[in-house]
A and B are shown apart, each in its own frame.
Chain A
Amino acid sequence: MTVATAIVRPFTQAVGKLSAVHRLAPWLLVYLLLLPLPYVLSGLFNDYYVYLANRICIFILLTVGLNIVKGFCGQVTIGHVGLYAIGAVSSALVSLHLGAPFWVSFPIGVLVAGVAGIIVGLPSVRLEGAYLALATLGLGESVRIMIAVTPLFGSSTGLIGIPTPEIGGFVFDSFERYYYLLITATMIGIYLSFSILRSATGRAFMAIREDTIAASVHGINVPQYKLLAFVISALYAGAAGALFAHMPPGYIHHNNFTIIEMVTLLLMVVLGGIGHIWGGVIGAIIVTIIYDQTLEFYFYQPLLFGLSMVILVMFMPRGIGGVIDRYFVTRRFIGAREGKTDGAP
């Protein structure tokens, strides 16, 4: 038996035998540890930091979704923030005008964004790289402009008084309380992204990113999987949007969905590491904090983020996740080389 089989095989056999409890246990543990975070934050600092934690959660949902389509499937999209807007506005409208509770408007917002995801994804069947980026940028911006000029969608005043969710008399009407909703959604979102990406579907996405023709020859229906990636990422964006809309004080404005937000999102994904599930999470946390700490220099923020992006792409193209990965790969590589004795090519 070779070295690798000695290492790899027991591991895969063990994973196969894991029960659902074992699989979910670490997730539940992290979830329980994160639940009391608002009290820690408001105790140590003040309520503003709880609001910051909420923002981070929303950005995590957005980047995890963006990472699926951009990081894993390799489709450069700049329309993600448009889908985020669609989720926010449709969920807000359903609850404002139809009086539906959050638990009805939320799934509607997510679904509408998912359908819009198909439209944003359609150009990807024909276009690649920078051309696809331009097409999706157009779609994303036109969504924002539609919101800005249509009174029904809020136009220049924005949508005000979007009701906050409520469950069995418990109203999520403060940042502390809303945090419970957000952290739950975020943990579920990350877990589901793991489930999707660590399966044949995730491997198909990566194969498309690496080489479209080779993927297709090996039996992957490329257009279908590209669209699937767009739809999944749109569902994430829609969920993030709907959660954002209903967050107290229940106010959304088209300025929340500008191209600057999109650049920030891209920076999160690139910094965290394209194609690393945890990368988006790390990136969202770091960039949101930097964004917040530099608010005084509001006008220079786009410059700062743009420059950081250029520097990152040049010197750390795989982000933080890539650096960590690199470390482990190198160690494994040395291990494999040392373990070898025969002179096969």
Chain B
Amino acid sequence: MALLETTKLSKSFGGLRAVSDLDIAIEPGTIHGLIGPNGSGKSTFFNLVTGVYQSDPGSRIVFDGTEITNMPSHEVGALGIARTFQLLRLFSDMTVLQNLMVGYHTHVSYSILTAIFDRGAVQRYDARTTEEMMDLLEFIGLADYAEMPASELSGGQRRLLALGRAMAMRPKLLMLDEPAAGLSPVNVEHFLAIVMKLKEKFGLTILIVEHILKVVMETCDTVTVLDYGEKIGEGTPNEVKDDHAVIEAYLGQEMDDDEVRAILRT
């Protein structure tokens, strides 16, 4: 059974159908790529799954046997879906460690009453959590910056922190929205290596949106291609690469020599 399954998922903004009757199934344990030109509905898909947007009537999203259509974001997060954002949305004024501690929020077992009346218990609990988070920070290579405000980090470190914060949720499904955007080729490799290690260690399923096709081709098991909110292709990276509709969406229609000359002349 698929870990995440959407049926007839649609979302309109006024007259624009950003996502249109989308059926996607993500198998557990795989890395699923989502590609498509700008404005093809990839980020909208993320926002629909994580409850940031409400989907149109008739849509259905099922995660791990639970229907999560239009469920509030925090409940989706508690079920085990973590995501990163294209623009990261880090908690910039908080420290790196605190960012991760917020990620861990759904697993915190004490209530505010414990916090008020038994400060010792809270301190002991948080110390244990801190240990765990430090392990995670060491894993992604940010341990030295634990006490830094997130705003002080470099671009590459911020991307890692966003990943770490999502992993602190102990998710089953990790959704990465253009995780490698703006990274240098060396750092892209570094980043992907960490993602692969995390996947192996925690048995993750990963959904990845990426513009750098090399990343998609090398890492993904399955790729879904979107254009104008509709699915125009799906399959292994190699199948998709040769798909006519996909090439057209990305590069436009093939032109013969006369047409090219006509354009050049004007």
- Contact A207-B119, Cβ < 8 Å, known A3-B144, A4-B144, A345-B187: no
Q: In the complex, what residues of A have CB within 8 A of residue B183's CB?
A: 345
A220 touches B105 (CB 8 A): yes
How many residues in B have their beta carbons less than 8 Å from beta carbons of A?
A: 61
Shortest beta-carbon distance from B32 to chain A in Å: 19
A219 touches B90 (CB 8 A): no
> Which residue in chain B gives the minimum CB-CB distance to A13?
B127
Complex Cα spacing A333 to B131, Å? 21
Q: Is A94 close to B, CB under 8 A?
A: no
Complex Cα spacing A228 to B127, Å? 25
Interface residue range, chain A: 35 or more
- List B residues 87-115 near A (Cβ within 8 Å): 89-94, 97-98, 101-103, 105-106, 108, 110, 112, 115
Q: In the complex, what residues of B have CB within 8 A of residue A200's CB?
A: 101, 105, 108, 110, 115, 126
Complex Cα spacing A4 to B51, Å? 36
Q: Is A171 close to B, CB under 8 A?
A: no
Q: What string of 1s and 0s marks CB contacts (under 8 Å) between A1-19 and chain B?
A: 0111100110011011011
> Which residue in chain B gives the minimum CB-CB distance to A339?
B144
- Contact A206-B94, Cβ < 8 Å, known A217-B73, A219-B78: yes
Shortest beta-carbon distance from B156 to chain A in Å: 3
Q: In the complex, what residues of A have CB within 8 A of residue B94's CB?
A: 203, 206-207, 210
A199 touches B52 (CB 8 A): no
Q: Is A329 close to B, CB under 8 A?
A: yes
> Which residue in chain A gives the minimum CB-CB distance to B106?
A219
Complex Cα spacing A15 to B115, Å? 15
> Which residue in chain A gives the minimum CB-CB distance to B135?
A5
- The list of the 3 closest CB pairs from A to B, nearest first, reads A345-B156, A16-B127, A219-B106
B169 touches A219 (CB 8 A): yes
> Which residue in chain A gives the minimum CB-CB distance to B102?
A207
Shortest beta-carbon distance from B46 to chain A in Å: 10
B134 touches A5 (CB 8 A): yes
A210 touches B78 (CB 8 A): no
> Which residue in chain B gives the minimum CB-CB distance to A330?
B152
> Which residue in chain A gives the minimum CB-CB distance to B85?
A214
Q: Is B165 close to A, CB under 8 A?
A: yes
Q: In the complex, what residues of A have CB within 8 A of residue B253's CB?
A: none
Complex Cα spacing A23 to B122, Å? 12
Q: Is A44 close to B, CB under 8 A?
A: no
Name which of A5, A203, A275, A336 has the most chain B CB atoms within 10 A of its CB: A203
Q: Is B7 close to A, CB under 8 A?
A: no
Complex Cα spacing A149 to B148, Å? 53
Q: In the complex, what residues of B have CB within 8 A of residue A219's CB?
A: 74, 77-78, 105-106, 169
- Contact A210-B93, Cβ < 8 Å, known A8-B134, A15-B123, A196-B115: yes
- Out of B50, B102, B143, name the residue touching A220 (CB < 8 Å): B102
Q: In the complex, what residues of A have CB within 8 A of residue B73's CB?
A: 213, 216-217
Name which of A19, A214, A220 has the most chain B CB atoms within 10 A of its CB: A214
Q: In the complex, what residues of A have CB within 8 A of residue B145's CB?
A: 4, 336
